């Protein structure tokens, strides 16, 4: 049911940089803001990035978002063990007149 | 501070109607641009947006579930209620409610802890 496509997994060693992609279409990412959510095991999702590249107060600047055309990316620099979580992109979809979430990416810290 | 909490049955039978309540504090659903949405997550699967209601009673629904969903608000009680008819085992999921402001431009910035609903006979 997800209309935004993410890689199922990504991994890195502590200190490395990990990038997660999110592919959409002209009706969602191509024409609206992208959001990123972090979901730690057994907890509710947490807003990580809003309006493509803005961080809410309290989110470390190790997390950064970008958007180009119908794709978006989340980068985690200086990877830490506590970053091990599932990450979801999201956007409003004009064709569906609703929010859509990505398929999710599990980040593992090796 | 803003908090939200979901409540409702943990077990429903197939074909029954599910009613979930989101009780919140720290904001008012009569404030311009504010809304409360529902998102669910089947075990081990991705998030799925269900519905959203704004301060002015504007309602949005997932197209794939629209025929089964109703979202309402009680501003005086600081509650939002989601009903889903004709429940099926595939509807087994953790259901979350979440806050938006500025019509969602800043994302779902506060979430409830979620409530697991199992559909089984």
Interface of B with A in 76-115 (CB under 8 A): 96, 104-109, 111-114
Q: Of B46, B49, B106, which has the smallest distance from its Cβ to A99's Cβ?
A: B49
> By the 8 A CB rule, do A18 and A74 touch?
no
Per-residue confidence (pLDDT) for residue B102, from 0 to 100: 84
| Chain center to CA of B34 | 14
Vertex B37 angle, CA A4 and A47, to 5°: 60
Q: Tens of pLDDT along B35-85?
A: 999 999 999 999 999 999 999 999 999 999 999 999 999 999 999 999 999
Residues A34 and A11: their CA atoms lie apart, in Å, by 22
Residue with tokens 């309540």: B21
Q: Does residue A24 belong to the interface with chain B, where contact is any CB pair within 8 Å?
A: no
| Chain center to CA of A69 | 16
Q: Tens of pLDDT along B72-108?
A: 999 999 999 999 999 999 999 999 999 998 888 889 9
Inter-CA distances, B2 with A12, A28, A100, A110, B84, Å: 34, 28, 24, 35, 26
DSSP element (H, E) containing B100? strand B93-100
HSE at residue B64, side-chain half, CA atoms within 13 A, is 9
Q: Of B37, B49, B111, which has the smallest distance from its Cβ to A44's Cβ?
A: B111
Are A103 and B46 a contacting pair at CB < 8 A?
yes
């Amino acid at each position: 049911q997800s209309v935004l496509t993410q890689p199922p997994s990504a991994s890195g060693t502590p200190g490395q940089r990990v990038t997660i992609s999110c592919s959409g279409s002209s009706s969602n990412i191509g024409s609206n803001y992208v959001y990123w959510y972090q979901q730690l095991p057994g907890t509710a999702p947490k807003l990580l990035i809003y309006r493509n590249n803005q961080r809410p107060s309290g989110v470390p600047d190790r997390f950064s978002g970008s958007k180009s055309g119908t794709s978006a990316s989340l980068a985690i620099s200086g990877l830490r063990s506590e970053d091990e979580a599932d990450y979801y992109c999201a956007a409003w979809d004009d064709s569906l007149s609703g929010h859509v979430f990505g398929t999710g990416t599990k980040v593992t810290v090796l | 501070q803003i908090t939200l909490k979901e409540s409702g049955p943990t077990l429903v039978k197939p074909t029954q109607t599910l009613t979930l309540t989101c009780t919140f504090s720290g904001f008012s659903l009569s404030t311009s641009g504010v809304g409360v949405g529902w998102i669910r997550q089947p075990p081990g699967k991705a998030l799925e947006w269900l519905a959203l209601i704004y301060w002015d009673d504007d309602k949005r629904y997932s197209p794939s579930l629209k025929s089964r969903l109703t979202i309402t608000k009680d501003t005086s009680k600081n509650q939002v209620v989601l009903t889903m008819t004709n429940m099926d085992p595939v509807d087994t999921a953790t259901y979350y409610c979440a806050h938006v402001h500025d019509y969602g431009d800043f994302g779902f910035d506060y979430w409830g802890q979620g409530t697991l609903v199992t559909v089984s006979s």
